[in-house]
């Protein structure tokens, strides 16, 4: 352990040195992936790689491997040499660098045995997983890397470097830009705008020959690109026609090695043009001056670029290399990109509403936070992080690697020839893209759900960060997260403008670390071995590979793939603090947590309902959708809690839980609100009405509105099994008990309780659990008293049974009810103290004689 190494510290580091190349490769776990960069920073390429791998580690939370990154510096590039000579020397350096990595990496033979490299003294355990990816300067080097791997007989073959001639070409797929566009669309949707059908204004960094910028600027025919720049030219178009400009950008994208200078100048609106960045001064038309709020008639290129970044457009889209936005509190050196010091701006100075980070490191983390808090003219801007927005590229590559590992098993088994595999891979391109874009959609939705609760969850987030720090998993300073005192100050400042909690860029980091932490826990648990998750593994791969279930079971990353899918599903829906909070509340382990979560999803039919809500994009209000999502998540969390305790106690499998509780929940759901107490019926009707008002179809609104009461079904099923009553009759009795003794009203009051610190809110949750337990206990007592299982077959008989039971305990019941009524009549709303007194009055009624 080298204490003086700058954070973050890698799991493994390989340094390669040769007369013509130096390089370094940093990995943060045994299963890791990331790009190899051709660095031009002779003296501090490790610093460059370390900065990149930090973002890679967070980005990789959505895929199976953790983050890694490499960089090499060619020492002998020919001075004054032509492009081909420079490229040839860089390739020689690249191949030597790769050889250095493979020289000390374990291999796997045809019999699936680990083979250590010859002539190496081994100090670590088995470590055969090494994959690389393209990066700056190495975008076309994948086939070269795979050639080196095959020369070594490395077990991954052409899965060693994704995106080669037999693989998924990111630019052809447009996958990175399409993923970033999911983020951009969500930002605008939550601002009430559909950018696929309504014109919107954009300024950007990049050119149409580039993958991320070029593809990105073709993803909506409503795009009005006002200005853009790369390292060569500045493009200005003050009043573009969406259709005409889209067609011209499309032509340029298809033109090999195009630049902004290839843009048909006759199609540019009045006052616009294309200008080389080499000019000392650039003349500005009245239209450009008005667009950029500049008074001077000529400006230096750097001043013009700064004005573009500060433009009053709706979207700032990063699709090119460079760091252009920092925070006021940072120096230009903090941005780590000296070449752009002259044009860089502060996050608070951005006037766009939305920033889309298709490229890496365009904005510092502090710059993002500043923009989220003070950008967009002080209103606060909409931004995620580069790790969120452009994760689709790494996600696509990871699918390719795992598909090739699977097809490698089939090749070795004689099931598939290499030629057949090469024909199969391109047929699955759309399926891979669909999986990847779903990840982008779900992950940005997860951020929106977290952001909507950011103020109320401040202390939970603080506790979660503290727990990660205590485990050595998180360094707040490295990740730009606030210290406890700063976060407390934000909480005191309140929710003005939604700024009382963590910002969206900070929440993105927390989301990633929640996934990283849970992933390790799931892999270490028995959960991936539950037979239920064989379908999860199969669902990860394209349908064309579905017939190869046996080979999937032999996949070296089988457990990791399952863990990644489950990890993302749980954190995306329930949030990063959910796993630790539930394990603590339910007193269960990770296996029981995962098993219960999967069972609850199946029992409640969450996936189908969730998809119905997602289908309302552009039809319902964004706020209405969030309310539906949150209701589904709340129900899922509740049932997971009940089932986790049972799964932990009985070591249940997912199938056992689904079979034990699924039919009863389905039966209760079919009855709708008819079995609920009058109070709960009114509450459910009110919820459904609100959902419909926000654009939800009536059937979906009703289904979501009654979901929460159904989550008590686990207790009701257990009561029914113990008494031979049907679950429907038990449920009627249960809800009549809730009505007779005011449990339903009290729980509603407790559930809407706002204020207090995290411990007070925890106490309220425990209070609600206590009330549920007491209601269940009284129901059980009435069941025994009634004896006749027909007592709950309708509302009248259920009410009569409860009344008869209570009549034998008149004094105790009267005293409890009087206490609750006195509190309600006193007015002033419910407080924690009042709820505690009411709960104490009701406690023990079940055993009263």
- How many angstroms separate the CA atoms of 628 and 631, rounded? 5
C-beta separation of 530 from 653 below 8 A: yes
Using an 8 Å Cβ cutoff, are 232 and 259 in contact?
yes
> Closest Cα to residue 33, out of 348, 400, 279, 332?
400
Dist. CA 675–CA 836, nearest whole Å:
28
Nearest to 28 by CA among 409, 366, 516, 605: 516
Three-class SS of residue 316? strand
What's the rounded Cα separation, in Å, for the pair 669 and 672? 5
Query: Which among 515, 512, 566 is positioned nearest to 537, based on CA atoms?
Result: 566
Question: Measuring CA to CA, how many Å separate 167 from each of 101, 171, 546, 666?
Answer: 23, 12, 19, 45
Interacting residues of 226 by C-beta distance below 8 A, sequence separation 6+: 201, 202, 203, 236, 237, 238, 240, 291, 311, 313
Element containing residue 607 per DSSP (H, E) = helix 606-614
Q: Which residues, other chains included, contact 712 with Cβ-Cβ below 8 Å and sequence gap of 6+? A: 642, 734, 772, 776
Which residues, at least 6 apart from 482, have a Cβ–Cβ distance to it below 8 Å?
A: 476, 490, 502, 506
3-class secondary-structure state, position 299? strand
Q: Do residues 293 and 312 make contact, with C-beta atoms less than 8 angstroms apart?
A: yes
State the Rg of the chain over Cα: 30
Q: How far is 289 from 453, CA to CA, in rounded Å?
A: 41
Q: How far apart are CA 643 and CA 646, in angstroms?
A: 5
Contact 800, 791 (CB under 8 A): yes
CA-nearest of 380, 340, 332 to 359 is 340
- How many angstroms separate the CA atoms of 782 and 191, rounded? 52
Which helix (H) or strand (E) segment holds residue 345: the answer is strand 345-346
In the chain, what is the straight-line distance between the N-terminal and C-terminal CA atoms, in Å?
A: 66
Tokens of 364: 């510092």
Q: Where are the alpha helices (DSSP H) in 671-754?
A: 678-693, 698-705, 707-710, 713-723, 727-740, 743-751
Q: Which residues are catalytic?
A: 69
DSSP 54-73: HHHHHHGGGSSSEEEEEEEE
Vertex 457 angle, CA 456 and 458, to 5°: 100
Residues present in the chain in total: 849
Instruction: Output b/e per residue, 828-847; b: 16+ Cβ within 10 A.
Output: eebebebbeebbebbeebbe
Please state, in angstroms and rounded to a whole number, the distance separating the CA atoms of residues 475 and 302. Answer: 36
Cis peptide before 8 (omega within 30 of 0): yes
Closest to 28 in 3D by CA, of 6, 2, 71, 58: 58
Question: Tokens 């095959």 map to which residue?
Answer: 150
Per 3-state DSSP, what percentage of the chain is helix, strand, and coil (rounded to 5)?
60, 10, 30
């Amino acid at each position: 352990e080298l204490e003086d190494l700058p954070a973050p510290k890698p799991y493994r580091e390989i340094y390669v040195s040769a007369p013509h190349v130096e390089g370094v490769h940093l990995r943060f776990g045994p299963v890791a992936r990331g790009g190899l960069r051709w660095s031009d920073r002779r003296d501090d390429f490790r610093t460059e790689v370390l900065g990149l791998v930090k973002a890679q580690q967070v980005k990789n939370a959505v895929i199976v491997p953790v983050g890694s990154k490499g960089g090499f510096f060619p020492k002998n590039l020919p001075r004054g040499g032509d492009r081909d000579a420079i490229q040839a020397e860089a390739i020689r350096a690249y191949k030597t660098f790769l050889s250095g990595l493979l020289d000390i990496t374990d291999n796997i033979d045809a019999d699936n045995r680990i083979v250590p490299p010859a002539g190496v003294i081994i100090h670590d355990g088995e470590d055969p997983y090494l994959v690389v990816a393209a990066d700056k300067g190495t975008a076309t080097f994948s086939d070269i890397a795979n050639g080196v791997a095959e020369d070594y007989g490395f077990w991954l073959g052409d899965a060693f470097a994704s995106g080669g001639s037999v693989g998924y070409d990111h630019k052809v797929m447009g996958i990175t830009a399409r993923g970033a566009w999911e983020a951009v669309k969500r930002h605008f949707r939550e601002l009430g705008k559909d950018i696929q059908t309504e014109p919107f204004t954009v300024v950007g960094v990049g050119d149409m020959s580039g993958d991320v910028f070029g593809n990105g600027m073709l993803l909506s025919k409503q795009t009005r690109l006002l200005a853009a720049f790369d390292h060569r030219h500045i493009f200005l178009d003050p009043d573009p026609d969406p259709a005409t400009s889209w067609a011209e950008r499309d032509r340029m994208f298809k033109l090999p090695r195009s630049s902004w200078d290839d843009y048909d100048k006759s199609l540019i609106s009045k006052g616009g043009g294309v200008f080389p960045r080499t000019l000392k001064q650039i003349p500005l038309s009245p239209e450009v001056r008005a667009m950029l709020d500049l008074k001077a008639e000529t400006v230096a290129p750097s001043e013009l670029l700064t004005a573009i970044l500060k433009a009053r457009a709706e979207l700032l889209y990063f699709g090119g290399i460079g760091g252009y936005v920092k925070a006021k509190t940072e120096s230009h050196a903090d941005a780590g990109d000296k070449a752009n010091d002259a044009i860089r701006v502060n996050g608070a100075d951005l006037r766009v509403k939305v920033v889309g980070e298709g490229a890496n490191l365009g904005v510092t983390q502090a710059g993002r936070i500043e923009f989220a808090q003070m950008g967009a003219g002080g209103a606060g801007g909409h931004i995620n992080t580069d790790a969120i927005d452009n994760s689709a590229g790494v996600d696509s590559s990871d699918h390719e690697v795992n598909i090739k590992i699977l097809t490698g098993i089939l090749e070795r088994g004689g099931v598939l020839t290499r030629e057949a595999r090469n024909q199969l891979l391109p047929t699955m391109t759309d399926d891979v893209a669909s999986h990847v874009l779903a990840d982008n959609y779900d992950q940005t939705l997860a951020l929106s759900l977290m952001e909507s609760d950011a103020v109320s969850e401040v202390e939970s987030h603080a506790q979660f960060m503290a727990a990660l720090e205590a485990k050595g998993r998180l360094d707040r300073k490295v990740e730009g997260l606030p210290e406890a005192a700063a976060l407390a100050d934000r909480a005191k400042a309140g929710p003005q403008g939604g700024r009382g909690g963590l910002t969206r860029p900070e929440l993105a980091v927390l989301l990633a670390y929640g996934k990283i932490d849970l992933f390790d826990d799931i892999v270490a648990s028995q959960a991936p071995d539950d037979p239920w998750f064989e379908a999860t593994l199969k669902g990860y791969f394209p349908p064309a590979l579905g017939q190869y279930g046996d080979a999937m079971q032999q996949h070296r990353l089988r457990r990791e793939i399952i863990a990644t899918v489950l990890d993302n599903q749980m954190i995306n829906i329930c949030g990063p603090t959910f796993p630790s909070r539930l394990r603590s509340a339910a007193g269960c382990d990770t296996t029981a947590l995962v098993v219960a979560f999967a069972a609850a999803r199946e029992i409640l039919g969450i996936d189908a309902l969730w998809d119905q809500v997602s289908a309302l994009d552009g039809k319902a209000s964004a706020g209405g959708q969030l309310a539906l999502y949150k209701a589904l998540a709340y129900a899922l969390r509740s049932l997971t809690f009940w089932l986790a305790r049972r799964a932990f106690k009985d070591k249940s499998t997912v199938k056992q839980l689904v079979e034990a509780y699924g039919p009863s929940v389905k039966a209760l759901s079919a009855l709708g609100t008819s079995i609920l107490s009058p109070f709960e019926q009114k509450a459910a009707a009110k919820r459904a009405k609100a959902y419909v008002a926000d654009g939800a179809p009536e059937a979906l609104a009703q289904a979501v509105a009654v979901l929460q009461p159904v989550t008590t079904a686990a207790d009701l099923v257990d009561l029914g099994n113990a008494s031979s009553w049907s679950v429907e009759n038990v449920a009627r009795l249960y809800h009549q008990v809730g009505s007779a003794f005011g449990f339903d009203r009290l729980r509603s009051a407790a559930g809407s309780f706002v204020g207090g610190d995290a411990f007070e809110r925890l106490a309220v949750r425990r209070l609600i659990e206590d009330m549920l337990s007491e209601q269940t206990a009284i129901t059980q007592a009435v069941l025994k008293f009634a004896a006749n299982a027909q007592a709950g077959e309708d509302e009248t008989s259920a009410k009569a049974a409860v009344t008869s039971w209570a009549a034998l305990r008149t004094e105790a019941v009267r005293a409890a009810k009087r206490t609750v009524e006195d509190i309600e009549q006193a007015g002033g709303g419910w407080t924690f103290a009042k709820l505690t007194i009411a709960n104490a009055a009701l406690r023990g009624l079940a055993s009263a004689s």
